[in-house]
Structure 1
Amino acid sequence: MNINLNYIEVFCHLGQNLNFSQTARELNTSQPAISRKIKLLEDELGYELFVRSNKTTSLTLKGQAFLDQVLPSFNTISGAIHNKEQKIDLKVGSIFEAGEKYLLSALNDLHENERIGHFDLQFDSAINLIDKLQAGELDIIMTHIIPAQKSLSFFEVFRDGTYLVGPKKEDGKRKRKLVTYRNEDLYTEEFLHKTLGKNWRSKFEIIGCVNSHKAMLSLCEAGGHFCVVPESSFNNSGGLKIYKKKDSSHGIYICVRQNFLENRDTKRLIEELINCLK
């Protein structure tokens, strides 16, 4: 007798949960496909494995005996294959601060637990990360921008607050010096408009921009500037003061290509990564 191992896999899943729909979801297939494989296995064995009714599914006596016989061996084989497949090498990208503070720790945990093999983490702007992900240069990215491309999927992992920070002692000038993330920093302008009102420009003078939140905070501490930064970027060393705070201002997302989720092992890995971050 030469039985297809895929039929055994289907039988072991169904024999444990006794639910055709759940088995189909677990194996990323359709319910008719599950029914067909069980029927083919029963034809090979020469006896029925399940008693089916409109509302319930149960094992026959021979079905239970067969499950007791094959399940330990199947679990051993499945575990060996699963462990081998799970050591996936990943190319990961992230906006700098959230990646350094959260994503790197989660990836290290997965690596130490032998869930992933080697991973390469690079930092870039959200727009560049999305372009690289879509081009296949990266497998996973962490960003605060929801991608518009239909080929990409995103999952919110947490909400990030926003701070207006500056020196503890102000110099008494009428306008405060404000440094931004880019020339047209809509993130900063939207935050100041919502928290200080439409006349916020009468209180701040934008004097320049830098390319990282760390550099912005350094200017604030060393030069008496102000800046608007995500909560995930701000680690107060004692030289700065929070002037305005807004909770849950935007989401932080894990993004992947949709075809990356079609593989059951990589889909499971994404779920574990998201759980590590939440």
Structure 2
Amino acid sequence: MVSRLDLYRVFCKVGKSDSFSQAAKELYMTQPAVSQSIMQLEKELDIRLFNRTPKGVSLTHEGSLLFEYANSAINLLHVGEEKILEFQNLTAGELKIGVGDTISRYFLLPFLETFHNRYHKIKFKIINGTTSELCSLLKSGEVDIAICNFPLYDPALELRPSIDIHDIFVSGEKYKNIVSKPMKFSEVVQLPLILLEPKSNSRKYVEDFLESKGIKVSPEFELGSHDLLLEFAKINLGIACVSKEFSKDYLNKGLLYEVQLVEEIPKRSIGVCYLKSVSLSPAATRFVEIIEKNSLSDA
């Protein structure tokens, strides 16, 4: 069954060419099929749209009025289709990413650079937040994807782990001798502790693990960023719990020392998450592919 939109497409072609045969060639239809389509549209609208003469056809007054609107609508549809193709070909659009400051700095930046070099016409919108805040942003549609600390338990989200990270304790020069020999967690928590704020997923993971061992923590300092943890530990304000992978510069330069532990904190991961119920845009899909490809090659 021919749709009303198809009838209008035929109508506009005939209106432009003033010829059934020419419209048929441009539409790859037979001339009788074009003629039948015009007759069907005239019947449905209960009005004559074309004057038929031996020399061809011409729009009636009513047909001219309809052509003005129909042709504009068809042109707008073409523009819309072209825009969709641009999004699919990644020559236009926006990618909205939710991410924490630390992950953005130590993990995300190389992937942003790679993606931007390949698809420089895609605009970025980066929104910072904690893991719980980013999950809310995903559900409200304010971001397409989020780069989060795992573990994360939310049945509405698809989780794609990218890299493993390890939580460790570090100290400055003042505590170097104390932490040089393997320590139990019960001994570590007796020292002045520097931790992330309680709402941080990283803090919760370490705290839950220690509590499973019957150990409660009472930090001396609670800070809002990973970089501050490193700086506070460097000036000997206490022992900081940090991500080893994001602290390599301080450790390699001898600015901080890793606390030797009798038992390690189990590794966790960082990865991409997005809503299961919503299909990713072409830009978001390609960005996730870049992260996964490069993460696997680094593994």
The two structures have a TM-score, normalised by structure 1, of: 0.59
> SS at 2:197's partner residue?
coil
Matched to 2:171, the amino acid is G
Matched to 2:254, the amino acid is G
Matched to 1:138, the amino acid is V
Alignment size in residue pairs: 195
Instruction: Tell me whether 1:249 sits opposite 2:267 in the alignment.
Output: yes
Instruction: Tell me whether 1:258 sits opposite 2:276 in the alignment.
Output: yes
**Distance in 2 between the 1:188 and 1:265 partners?**
34
What are the ranges of 5 or more consecutive residues in structure 1 without an aligned counterpart?
A: 1-80
CA contact (8 A) 2:111 2:290 kept: no
Q: Structure 1 residue 135: deviation in Å? A: 0.8
Matched to 1:239, the amino acid is L
**Distance in 2 between the 1:114 and 1:161 partners?**
33
CA contact (8 A) 2:176 2:257 kept: no
Matched to 1:177, the amino acid is P
Q: Structure 1 residue 248: deviation in Å? A: 6.0
CA contact (8 A) 1:146 1:253 kept: no
2:127 counterpart (122, 129, 134): 122
Identical positions, percent: 17
Match of 1:238 in 2: 254
Task: For residues 191-243 of structure 1, give each alpha carbon's deviation from its aligned partner in whole angstroms, at most 9, with x where no partner exists.
Answer: 5568xx65x66xx8621211111111111111331111112331314321001
> SS at 2:174's partner residue?
coil
RMSD: 3.4
Superposed counterparts of 1:14-163, under 5 Å: 81=85, 85-87=89-91, 88-114=93-119, 117-163=122-168
Match of 2:46 in 1: none
Match of 2:23 in 1: none
More strand by share: 1
**Distance in 2 between the 1:267 and 1:227 partners?**
37
CA contact (8 A) 1:254 1:274 kept: no
Instruction: Tell me whether 1:273 sits opposite 2:291 in the alignment.
Output: yes
**Distance in 2 between the 1:152 and 1:171 partners?**
43
1:189 counterpart (184, 189, 207): 207
Q: Structure 1 residue 172: deviation in Å? A: 8.5
> SS at 2:114's partner residue?
helix
Q: Structure 1 residue 144: deviation in Å? A: 1.2
Q: Structure 1 residue 120: deviation in Å? A: 1.9
What are the ranges of 5 or more consecutive residues in structure 2 without an aligned counterpart?
A: 1-84, 179-186
> SS at 1:223's partner residue?
coil
> SS at 2:115's partner residue?
helix
**Distance in 1 between the 2:163 and 2:112 partners?**
16
| Larger Cα-atom Rg | 2
Task: For residues 93-130 of structure 1, give each alpha carbon's deviation from its aligned partner in whole angstroms, at most 9, with x where no partner exists.
Answer: 11222221121210210110127611122321111111
> SS at 2:229's partner residue?
helix
**Distance in 2 between the 1:182 and 1:123 partners?**
16
The two structures have a TM-score, normalised by structure 2, of: 0.55
Task: For residues 30-89 of structure 1, give each alpha carbon's deviation from its aligned partner in whole angstroms, at most 9, with x where no partner exists.
Answer: xxxxxxxxxxxxxxxxxxxxxxxxxxxxxxxxxxxxxxxxxxxxxxxxxxx578632441
